[in-house]
Amino acid sequence: MRSKQSIAAGLLVAALVAAGAVNLATDQPRWWGLLPIVVYVVLVVLEINVVLATGAAVVIGFVLTGTGPLAMGTMMSESLGSFIAVIGLIIMLGAGLGRIAADTGAAQTLVRMLLNRVGVDSPVRIQVGIMLASTVLVGALGTLAGANAILAPIVIPVAAAVSRSRPSVAAMLHAGGAAGLIIGPFTPPVVTITGAADISYLQYLFSAGLPMAVVTWATGFAMARFIQRRTAETDQYSAEELAGMARNDGASGGTPSRTPGATPGGTLVATARERRAAVAFIGTIVAMAVLGVILEAGFAYAIVVMIVTAIVTALAGGMRPADALTSFYTGAAQLLWLFFLFWLFNPLLIMLEQSGAYEAMLESLQPTLESVGAWPFLMIALVIGWVGVAGAAVAQVVLINDLLWPLAATLGIPSTAWSAALLGGSQIDWFGPFPNADMIGQMGLARSSNLRMMLFNGWAIMAANLVLFAVLFTVLL
């Protein structure tokens, strides 16, 4: 780690010197305008904190463009109302809503209702129930880690009762949750892509989101069964683990009681208040989503949805206003860093445009890409986002869109096809080719240490989605 920090420090010094020299030599940096983005990508690859990497890139951009203190202040203040900063705010509000849903027992009760509805009388039904619960909860809360952290202690004892292995459960959580992030109407990727491509939620859903979610879910379902056959004898949950999770579940969301022997995992009985909160939570999200479709609402509508759903859920769950606010603040504070990341990222994009880098790239690449054609261009854009742009998925979408949409527009690529390229380029790297935080996080929630099987699951989903997008681009063009 120390060697990476030394490399990062050396890179920063060299980049600052180069930026200063370019600023003195010319008023229009052109290709040199990509320097801050290159530094940002390299720092993230070196595992430097992504907020620090973004801040360092912004400083290099200021030096490169000769931005003075007053102009810096104006740029930073205007960035608070930018598209990407609003997305950061929506994500924070979603985290606050998630905390209220957990503290009222709404999220936990919703999971139990889904499991009971699907049934827990066979291993296949239990797998369907776990993955469906993950899809619904992640789609509602907009966070893979947060939603599955609520889900895991509830479903693991049920899975263990039919001898589902830890790596198998990890694969279920990863695939089921990823599908929820792809199709949830107010999740960060969906809000960002619909805003960037300027299309409605239904256009996005049927042109890109639903196909990828179905392929991800179905491939993950098959891979979880594949993994189960290879780990059933060696990687089961211990009695001590299950006892610890039962204690944590009982303390995490209200006071549900367990009726012994009713189902393989026991029947969890929620209180009337928890049931009201669960119905209010999912009912409000569905109602607001329908209203948004009718009104053809834009991405900013998600702000209203998060606030209204939080208020309705808290009231239905019997929370006092002061307690509800405290709960909301606690949840939102956990993602404050992400808001700062997106706030800092907008000046980076503005300076990239001011430097003339976009125009230089367009002039250089347009003849070649026009001769290549629309389908290869979409595949190139997907691969660039997948393996060439590191960092948070929302920032990936905005950066890919700003860099490549002008070229896509000259090729006559429709917005629906472009939304599919943005989705694939920013989300396929959830699954590989290398281990990542999302993958490791789901392993941790499932108490699994089998990275090999998790990579197999990710590679299968990744390959299936690459085939999907190759076909999808042909259909959408």
Per-run averaged pLDDT (10 residues), the chain, 477 residues? 82 89 83 86 82 90 89 90 85 88 89 84 89 91 82 84 90 94 90 91 94 97 95 81 57 40 49 92 90 83 91 95 94 88 86 78 73 87 72 75 85 93 89 79 86 92 95 93
Indicate the helix (H) or strand (E) that contains 267: strand 267-269
Look at residue 262 in the predicted model and tell me its pLDDT.
Answer: 38
Which among 64, 91, 89, 90 is positioned nearest to 347, based on CA atoms? Answer: 64
Specify the DSSP class assigned to residue 477.
-
Strand partners, 268: 258
Residue type (1 letter), 49 = N
Chain CA centroid to CA 232, Å: 30
Chain CA centroid to CA 67, Å: 33
Look at residue 266 in the predicted model and tell me its pLDDT.
Answer: 45
Task: Assess contact for 121 and 334: CB atoms under 8 A.
Answer: no
Strand partners, 258: 268
Instruction: Write down the residue that tokens 């445009």 correspond to.
Output: 353
Give the pair of three-digit tokens for residue 374.
């629309």
Give the pair of three-digit tokens for residue 444.
């941790």
Look at residue 248 in the predicted model and tell me its pLDDT.
Answer: 53
Domain boundaries, the chain: 1-66, 83-333
Question: What is the helix, strand, coil percentage profile of the chain, to 5?
Answer: 80, 0, 20
Say which residues have a Cβ less than 8 Å from residue 420's Cβ, sequence separation at least 6: 207, 208, 378, 469, 472, 473, 476
Look at residue 58 in the predicted model and tell me its pLDDT.
Answer: 92
Residue type (1 letter), 209 = G
DSSP of 169-213: HHHHHHHHHHHHHHH-TTSHHHHHHHHHHT--HHHHIIIIIHHHH
Look at residue 239 in the predicted model and tell me its pLDDT.
Answer: 72
Give the pair of three-digit tokens for residue 32.
């040199």
Instruction: Write down the residue that tokens 């792809």 correspond to.
Output: 182
Task: Assess contact for 170 and 448: CB atoms under 8 A.
Answer: yes
Chain CA centroid to CA 391, Å: 11
Alpha-carbon distance of 314 to 147, in angstroms, equals: 18
Look at residue 258 in the predicted model and tell me its pLDDT.
Answer: 38
Helices (H) and strands (E) in the chain, counts: 23, 2
φ/ψ (deg, to 5) at 114: -65, -45
Alpha-carbon distance of 131 to 356, in angstroms, equals: 47
Look at residue 206 in the predicted model and tell me its pLDDT.
Answer: 94
Give the pair of three-digit tokens for residue 7.
């490399």
